[in-house]
């Protein structure tokens, strides 16, 4: 019996972008539709006079005196001073030491141990994320990253020995990992704790000073991160800036040594454009369309369970690695749909809208976007399961669509929610081409999403889905400069490299660089003649 074939036989966590190849009669499109941060409805900032709460659909407004508001605004001037302070700290050299890095990692480990309850509560406030899901997907993953860094940092910091060539004989060489300097991490709202602290772990491990800008769309987690990092880490080297567009803009105007941004491709372009002004390198972790390819000859129960785990039990589909749509054979689709229905009821109960084991939609704007996808003329009659919605509670039930048109918005944009289209075709050749012809940031065979829990695998996308990667050693490398070092002594100094350039020298050099060992030896002892 064949095993499940999921997500390009795998879950392609970061699809390749706009390059398309046939999938039945359909082609991939990787246009993203997460709202630009310039149009978000909610923001939370200690430095602003207006605070919008994500816990209700109405904003609460507090007004402070104009002069006090002006003093608290985080503008370009304050951002420049912040960067200057962190660069001054970096220039002292203290963040480069193994002891400092370890002390900060231990601070994070202690924070995760002592403040686990507070973290889970903040995630519930922002996303109604179930406690166990919050622990597994955020707290536990952060703890794993921190523990690996504590365990492996000494090895990561060791210079990497490199072979030298005969042209530099006698010599030795190595690659030294050194910190880049002052780095900026701009996080996102769907896993607001993990996707904030994981890059910070990498930046600290590499010996940098770092500014974290959490997402204003998850205000409770943002506020908690600001408090915890102040309490547990070295504030002269690690800082948190809360806020929304003005604060982010002020930060992006500065000269950084690296920027890591997690979010949409639209905002990724803004970040990259700002970085280009200073020739600042970037790591961009963006979104994409993540297909799951399901063969008919599978363990149906396990297949359905794993798809659900990679969709509705993964922040209710609000994840870049979530199953975005399914490709399967036409005759198998009804069987698969029934299996998904049965397992959904087993997981979340008969009334899916009242389940406490499923996150809510993050904000009214995202809720409205998802409803618009469902209510599109060519989509609304394709709903075969679910479709219920409650605007007051920001909840949409798990919804399955069957054979929506290729040009529908739901198939042209990243869904990022509890809607799951199933696309059917007549044969398996499309699935085979899918794996052979597409580049993916991540592939998973016979399961969904859990490949990101493997520390030795890089987490990152290609083309429209981003550039660069992190997780474990890849985080350390992403925030490090690889410096080439060649060591030579004075014992031997051939005149071969120096003028005058004689025919004899040319002949000897060509022989030495030919790669023919016997010829080199004969030449050196004077026995080789052309």
Q: Write out the catalytic residue numbers.
A: 285, 320
Distance (Å, rounded) from C-alpha 266 to C-alpha 252? 15
Assigned token pair, 488: 């030579």
| Whether the Cβ atoms of residue 286 and residue 461 lie closer than 8 Å to each other | yes
Element (H, E) at 419: strand 419-425
DSSP class of residue 25?
Answer: T
Question: φ and ψ at 139, to 5 degrees?
Answer: -65, -50
Distance (Å, rounded) from C-alpha 71 to C-alpha 303? 56
DSSP class of residue 265?
Answer: H
Q: Where do the H-state alpha helices sit in 233-264?
A: 245-252
Paired with 486 in beta bridges are 173
Distance (Å, rounded) from C-alpha 326 to C-alpha 295? 10
Element (H, E) at 176: strand 171-179
Helix, strand, or coil (residue 299):
coil
How far, rounded to the nearest angstrom, does the alpha carbon of residue 21 sit from its chain's CA centroid? Answer: 25
Strands across the sheet with 160-162, in order? 160-162, 171-179, 480-488
């Amino acid at each position: 019996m064949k095993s499940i074939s999921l997500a390009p036989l795998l879950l392609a966590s970061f699809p390749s972008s706009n390059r398309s190849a046939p999938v039945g009669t359909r082609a991939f499109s990787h246009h993203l539709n997460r709202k630009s941060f310039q149009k978000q409805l909610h923001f939370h900032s200690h430095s602003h006079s207006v605070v919008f709460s994500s816990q209700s659909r109405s904003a609460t407004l507090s007004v402070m005196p104009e002069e006090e508001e002006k003093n608290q605004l985080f503008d370009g001037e304050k951002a420049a001073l912040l960067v200057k302070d962190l660069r001054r700290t970096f220039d002292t050299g203290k963040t480069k030491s193994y002891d400092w890095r370890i002390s900060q990692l231990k601070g994070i480990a202690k924070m995760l141990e002592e403040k686990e309850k507070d973290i889970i509560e903040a995630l519930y406030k922002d996303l109604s994320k179930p406690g166990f899901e919050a622990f597994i997907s955020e707290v536990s993953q952060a703890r794993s990253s921190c523990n690996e860094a504590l365990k492996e940092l000494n090895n990561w910091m060791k210079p990497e020995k490199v072979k030298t060539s005969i042209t530099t004989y006698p010599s030795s060489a190595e690659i030294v990992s050194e910190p880049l300097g002052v780095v900026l991490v701009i996080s996102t709202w769907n896993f607001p704790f993990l996707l904030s602290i994981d890059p910070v772990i990498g930046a600290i491990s590499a010996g940098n000073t770092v500014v974290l800008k959490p997402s204003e769309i998850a205000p409770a987690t943002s506020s908690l991160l600001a408090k915890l990092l102040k309490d547990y880490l070295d504030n002269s080297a690690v800082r948190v800036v809360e806020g929304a567009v003005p604060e982010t803009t002020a930060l992006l105007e500065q000269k950084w040594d690296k920027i890591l941004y997690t979010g949409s491709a639209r905002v990724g372009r803004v970040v990259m454009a700002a970085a280009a002004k200073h020739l600042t390198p970037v790591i961009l972790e963006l979104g994409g369309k993540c297909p799951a390819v399901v063969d008919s000859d599978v363990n149906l129960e396990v297949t359905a369970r794993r798809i659900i785990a990679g969709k509705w039990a993964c922040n209710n589909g609000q994840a870049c690695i979530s199953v975005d749509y399914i490709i399967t054979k036409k005759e198998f689709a009804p069987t698969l749909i029934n299996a998904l229905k049965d397992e959904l009821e087993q997981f979340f109960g008969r009334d899916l809208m009242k389940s406490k084991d499923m996150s809510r939609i993050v904000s009214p704007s995202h809720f409205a976007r998802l409803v618009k996808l469902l209510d599109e003329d060519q989509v609304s009659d394709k709903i075969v399961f679910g479709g219920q919605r409650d605007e007051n509670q920001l909840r949409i039930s798990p919804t399955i669509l069957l054979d929506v048109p290729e040009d529908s918005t739901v198939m042209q944009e990243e869904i990022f929610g509890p809607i799951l289209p199933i696309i059917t075709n007549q044969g398996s050749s499309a699935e085979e081409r899918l794996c052979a012809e597409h580049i993916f940031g991540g592939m998973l065979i016979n399961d969904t999403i859990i490949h990101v829990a493997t520390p030795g695998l890089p987490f990152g996308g290609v083309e429209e889905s981003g550039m660069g990667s992190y997780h474990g050693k890849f985080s350390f490398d992403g925030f490090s400069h690889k410096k080439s070092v060649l060591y030579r002594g004075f014992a031997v100094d051939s005149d071969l490299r120096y003028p005058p350039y004689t025919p004899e020298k040319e002949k000897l050099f060509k022989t030495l660089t030919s790669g023919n060992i016997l010829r080199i030896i004969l030449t050196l002892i004077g026995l080789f003649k052309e």
